[in-house]
Amino acid sequence: MDLSIVIPLYNEAESLPELTAWIDRVCQSMQISFEIVMVDDGSTDGSWQVVNQLSATYPVIHGIKFRRNYGKSAALNVGFGATKGKVVITMDADLQDSPDEIPELYEMVAVQRYDIVSGWKKKRLDNRLTKNIPSKLYNLAVRCVSKIKLHDMNCGLKAYRSEVVKSIEVYGEMHRYIPVIAKWAGFTNITEKVVQHRKRQYGTTKFGMERFMNGFLDLISISFVGRFGKKPMHFFGSIGTLMFIGGFLAAAWVGAQKLILLYHGVLAPKVTDSPYFYISLTAMLLGSQMFLAGFLGELISRNSSERNHYLIEGEF
């Protein structure tokens, strides 16, 4: 199989016939073998019935239906597991992604050998105040943290080598950060392509402003897990040790000051009257807790079934 197209969908019954016919027309002109994996994320508008009807006309459709709505990440993860193509392209079901982009995306992965090609909707048709500007700020923050030079990390139109999607796990709301997850897995040949952004023709958007706040929280989470997931003691232990030592030295200095004053016959206030004593004590307690958190994290990591799971690129 040359190409797999994964389409997560939720209440997009109206757009599916037009989208499927468009994809089929483009892929047939490419003269390659392909499949369309549609993952219904618990739709309530009859989308699954439409998928079943379309499969009678287009045998290339592979349909998967969730019993309830689990989210886009779950739909993509299951869709990735079902793919058979050497190149995997993801796109949204709302017709805002143009299937006419498929040939060039496919060529960039199959011929130019990129691991990931991410779409960049350079000219957006969204509301500038509520979506465009927050999206730019969000992508700027992601570039600074991940060091991946993509302008539109959250674009649903992406192309992957099959090895990439088979080697990563997408969960929670981490679909926004698939390039970051792939980078941590060792797939660093990542680029982007300017793609067309089309206006939504049917239904309403399924995402609100809360996705930006959730996105920043997920960014912190994925950055931490990627760097310290297998070695939590390096993070918590280092911070805890520094806090404890700093607090101990500060407490020792407060005590030493009193001893010096007493040695010179000067009436010294109680150590407990000094605010620095309590600051030092707090730092020592927090440092001990951080160290303990790192120790417990290390125990959990060492007993995890994934502790020795590494991606091997070649062997002879």
Burial degree of 295 (CB within 10 A; 0-12, 13-18, 19+) = middle
Question: Could you tell me if 169 and 140 are in contact, meaning their C-beta atoms sit under 8 angstroms apart?
Answer: no
CATH code, 3-228: 3.90.550.10
Kindly state the tokens that stand for 52. Answer: 């079943």
* Three-state secondary-structure class, residue 258: helix
Residue 164: enclosing H or E segment and its boundaries?
helix 162-167
Place of tokens 């067309």: 196
pLDDT given at position 231:
76
Residue 11 gets which letter from DSSP? S
pLDDT given at position 312:
47
Q: Which of 141, 144, 137, 139 is nearest to 118 (CA)?
A: 139
- The alpha carbon dihedral of 86, 89, 93, 95 has a sign of negative
Alpha carbon distance, N-terminus to C-terminus of the chain: 26
> What are the sequence ranges of the domains in the chain?
3-228, 232-302
Give one word for 247, left, alpha or beta, with left for phi > 0 and alpha for psi -120 to 50: alpha
pLDDT given at position 210:
61
As a whole number of angstroms, the distance between CA 232 and CA 296 comes to 9
Per-residue pLDDT of the chain (316 residues; tens, 9 = 90+): 999 999 999 999 999 999 999 999 999 999 999 999 999 999 999 999 999 999 999 999 999 999 999 989 999 999 999 999 999 999 999 999 999 999 999 999 999 999 999 999 888 766 555 566 777 787 888 888 788 889 888 899 999 999 999 999 888 778 888 998 899 888 999 999 999 888 877 766 655 556 656 666 777 776 776 666 667 787 888 899 999 999 999 999 988 888 888 888 887 788 888 888 899 999 999 999 999 888 887 777 666 555 544 444 444 4
Q: In Å, how far from its chain's centre is CA 207?
A: 16
pLDDT given at position 265:
80
pLDDT given at position 293:
87
As a whole number of angstroms, the distance between CA 174 and CA 80 comes to 14
Helices H / strands E in the chain, number of each:
11, 7
pLDDT given at position 30:
95
pLDDT given at position 87:
97
Residue 213 has a CB neighbour count (10 Å cut-off) of 11
pLDDT given at position 236:
85
